[in-house]
Amino acid sequence: MNRRRKSPEETRASLVEATVKLILGQGFAATRVDEICREAGVTKGAFFHHFASKEDIGKAAIDWWGRMGDRVYSPAWSDDGRDPLTRLNQMLEIMHSFTERPDPCVCVVGMMSQEYGQTDTPYRECCQQELDNWTKQVAKLLAEAKKKHRPGTRFDPLTVANFLNSLWQGSMLIAKTQGQPRLIQDNLAIARSYLLTLFPGQADRLRHRKPKTKLNQTS
């Protein structure tokens, strides 16, 4: 029998990905090491060879999620010379696209923040870092937009970025309990309409491309 069925990197990756999957579904505290091993198709020997503890893989899962986020958002976040509002709009499109995937729209950082946000565990700092990363990227876009287009109202980019982050996390929280991503899409539409009040006259740049869901329907 071939004992080493794949490269150690693949084994490690499959363990982290299994952890991410389980966190998304039931949180980290409720996730057992044995469960992670079963999901990854390896034994505990492999687990504790690659990770010193359960805590260790928890931190790895947060980091993995953060790096994946960087990749997914990079088309909007990376400064390629396009208008910052166009890029902000693209970010909202990317967020919208999450709701159209087969798997539920949930977030590892949101889960871990909720579970450990008030504890002394290292997860707290890890989550804070990832949330901070997201917020800073969005704040940068908003600051650039503010410089380029004279905003209609005074606003602090970081405050608005925090608002978008809160709305995003809260949307996923409520939507998953309701079992339908529609609420997230509606909230993204409201976020758009709010951003439009900050940048009046930029409706063309901040318009949702695929109008599957109408914003603010019914009178």
Which of 8/201 has CB closer to DNA?
Answer: 8
**Does the protein bind DNA through residue 120 (CB under 7 A)?**
no
- Write each residue from 173 to 202 as x if it is in contact with a copy of itself (CB under 8 A), else as -, in one continuous string: xxxxxx----x--xx--x--xx--x-----
- Write each residue from 113 to 152 as x if it is in contact with a copy of itself (CB under 8 A), else as -, in one continuous string: xxxxxxx----x--xx--x---------------------
**Kind and range of the H or E run holding 101:** none
Given DNA, a copy of itself, none, residue 8, with its beta carbon under 5 to 8 Å by kind, binds DNA
- Write each residue from 53 to 72 as x if it is in contact with DNA (CB under 7 A), else as -, in one continuous string: xxx-----------------
Segment near DNA (CB under 7 A); pick from 46-54, 64-72, 117-125, 146-154? 46-54
Quickly list H helices, the chain.
8-26, 33-40, 44-50, 54-77, 84-99, 108-116, 122-148, 157-178, 182-198
**Does the protein bind a copy of itself through residue 217 (CB under 8 A)?**
yes
Residues contacting 44, CB < 8 A, separation 6+: 33, 34, 37
Q: 139-143, long-range: CB within 8 Å, 24+ apart, which pairs? A: 141/76, 141/77, 141/84, 141/87, 141/88, 141/91, 142/84, 142/88
